[in-house]
Amino acid sequence: MEVADRGEVQLQDLTVVTDTKGRSVAPPPVGDVDEPVVCFDPGRVLADRDGCAALTELVGRLRTIGYDGSPYASENDATRADVSARTLIALARREPTTRHDVVGALGVDAVSALIRCGALALVDEDVLLTAKVFPMRSLYTLLPGTPPGQDTVYLGPDSLVLFEIVWAARGFGDHAADLATGNGFLAAALATRYDHVVAADLSSRCVSTAGLVPVVNPHLRTRFAAVQLDVAEGLRPGSFDLVTANPPWVPETIAPKGDQPRRFAAGGPTGFELPRRFIDAAAELLAPGGKAFIACMDIAFDNGHRPLAEHLPRLAAHGVGATVVETRLNQTFDYDPRAARKAPRAASARHVVVELRRPS
């Protein structure tokens, strides 16, 4: 896992302007490509019918061979003997692969379609998938890189920890919403337990990436919708059995290089300004008996100010119960000095998930 910066840790840094050997990714020499494509553009891919069909085929074949993201996935006896399987796994990992082998694994029409929509790029004599395929049990999502000046489609360790806590709650029902959905992986999981799932995000890149979830998981097509929303604006209050969210929670008003705050990370001066909006919105969305799980940072300041703890009584006043659970990330990462660098006078910081409950 490479170190990035949402709380200075992210699952992987996937800027797709060079390949894994440091070579420049050249635009594919295809006649009907109007402009150079050097990075995965989820909106462009989503709008390309043939490209979507080719992605469905690619991920379907990964599912058939049981690709699970393991570093040993290409080392078992069956896979070593199958050039197509090795090629598909290399593509999923965003490793350069010969065009000959990719055509052999997918067929010339699928390869041409993926190149035209920018999902495949030529790197010297090789072919490279411009987004990583992220497997989660029987589900697959896509994780594009971040070109300069565009929003990060986020998926990090905090996303996975939130999933673990939500999954352990063993909820089932009719309607679920995943706010600040990122690449849509948690919403995809929820769609295996809930009949109708909304994956919402303010970023159009995130919404388009999440929109590819039913493309690569066709069995979810009638259960999953990706929409662009500011937090939960436009969703019907009191109608969701489950709400999840991993909003930006880093205390940040200026990005590390002095730029504007990063949309995927910046939670406000104390790190709680934006999570507070998600917590309040989730409480409003819950149907009787519904639950919500919101990830955030619990920061205490040296003057006694503790934004999360101070907000919980307001939820109780509106009839919503709340429990704060520290996550296992605190065993791996020391958030105290990181919070102190970002927020003056921060004395301690713990990564938590807030569980909300609306009585039946």
Q: What is the pLDDT of residues 82-121, one digit of tens each?
A: 889 999 999 999 999 999 999 999 999 999 999 999 999 9
What's the Rg (C-alpha) of the chain?
21
According to DSSP, residue 119 is labeled: S
CA separation for the pair 288, 199 (Å, rounded): 21
CATH number for the domain formed by residue range(s) 139-357 = 3.40.50.150
| Sequence ranges of the chain with CATH classification 3.40.50.150 | 139-357
CA separation for the pair 163, 50 (Å, rounded): 32
Point out which residues pair with 295 in neighbouring strands. 353
What mean pLDDT do residues 134-140 have?
92
pTM of the predicted protein model = 0.87
**Cα separation values, 27 from 18, 46, 104, 120, 148, Å:** 12, 19, 22, 9, 17
Q: What is the pLDDT of residues 171-192, one digit of tens each?
A: 999 999 999 999 999 999 999 9
